[in-house]
């Protein structure tokens, strides 16, 4: 079942509660945390996540684009995130970190920048609930989808199938009506969409339409 996670990076930050409610049919709300060190942009942190938690029933999918996730990621789970994603490039001890996130009761996920290969991390997959393959360079919304990531998505899905893992495969960056089918065909099942949802006249309608497209394009055995 395809999941659509609208990214509030493209929402109006002064009206976050309303913007969260505008996509009430979404599976998760994707929250991009940027620290102006790991990426050249600054967004929001723990206090905003705590407030958002109270403002919506939609579970929060926190994507941490920060240095020292080992120090900060478990606090996002404690603040109410249902899923916490750290970047492997920034993590000192990814296995220990994934276990700490799970111990806080959240799903643990690991993200890979476009130039980070998946192969060195094959043995870590059982420690994770989700793998995030970035389909743009992290830092900004509204960038063009990187087609060159499609083979990596296919390899990741094959790897998960080979190990018999039920984990989710998320794509983030440039996901829209014109790219989501290629991602679904390649094996992704969780789709982050920022500008494609929040720049639409009807954000809730955009979520439903993207989900339908992804469902149709998913390989038959994944339905």
Binding-site residue positions: 7, 30, 32, 63, 139-142, 172-174, 194-195
Within its chain, how far is the Cα of 42 from the centroid?
18
Q: Tell me if residue 201 is catalytic.
A: no
Q: Tell me if residue 147 is catalytic.
A: no
150/138 Cα distance (integer angstroms):
17
x/- letters, 31..60, toward Fe ion (CB under 5 A): -x----------------------------
Catalytic residue among 27, 129, 172, 189: 172
- Tokens matching residue 70: 């080992």
Q: Which one of 174, 187, 188, 200 is in contact with ligand 5RP (CB under 6 A)? A: 174
Q: Are 188 and 169 in contact (CB under 8 A)?
A: yes
Q: Which one of 69, 74, 80, 194 is in contact with ligand 5RP (CB under 6 A)? A: 194
Asked if 10 is part of the footprint of ligand 5RP (rule: CB under 6 A), the reply reads yes
Q: Report CA torsion sign: 118, 121, 126, 127.
A: negative
Asked if 131 is part of the footprint of ligand 5RP (rule: CB under 6 A), the reply reads no
Q: Which residues sit in the known binding site for a divalent metal cation?
A: 30, 32, 63, 172
Give the three-state DSSP class for 44: coil
What residues have CB less than 8 Å from 62, skipping those under 6 apart?
31, 33, 49, 76, 81, 83, 84, 85
Q: Which helix (H) or strand (E) holds 198?
A: helix 195-198
x/- letters, 180..199, toward Fe ion (CB under 5 A): --------------------
Catalytic residue ranges: 32, 172
Residues at the contact surface with Fe ion, assessed by CB under 5 A:
32, 63, 172
């Amino acid at each position: 079942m395809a999941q659509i996670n609208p990214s509030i990076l493209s929402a109006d930050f002064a009206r976050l509660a309303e913007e969260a409610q505008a996509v009430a049919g979404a599976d998760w709300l994707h929250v991009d945390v940027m620290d102006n060190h790991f990426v050249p942009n600054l967004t929001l942190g723990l206090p905003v996540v705590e407030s958002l938690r109270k403002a919506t029933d939609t579970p929060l999918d926190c994507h941490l684009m920060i240095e020292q996730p080992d120090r900060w990621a478990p606090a996002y789970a404690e603040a109410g995130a249902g899923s916490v994603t750290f970047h492997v490039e920034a993590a000192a001890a990814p296995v220990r970190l994934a276990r700490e996130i799970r111990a806080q009761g959240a799903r643990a996920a690991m993200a890979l920048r476009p130039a980070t290969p998946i192969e060195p991390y094959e043995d870590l997959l059982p420690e994770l609930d989700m793998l995030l393959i970035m389909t743009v360079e992290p830092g900004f919304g509204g960038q063009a989808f990187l087609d060159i990531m499609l083979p990596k998505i296919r390899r990741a899905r094959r790897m998960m199938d080979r190990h018999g893992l039920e984990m989710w495969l998320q794509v983030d960056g440039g996901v829209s009506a014109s790219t989501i089918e290629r991602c679904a065909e390649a094996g992704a099942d969780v789709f982050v969409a920022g500008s494609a949802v929040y720049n639409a006249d009807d954000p809730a309608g955009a979520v439903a339409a993207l989900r339908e497209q992804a469902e149709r394009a998913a390989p038959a055995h994944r339905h």
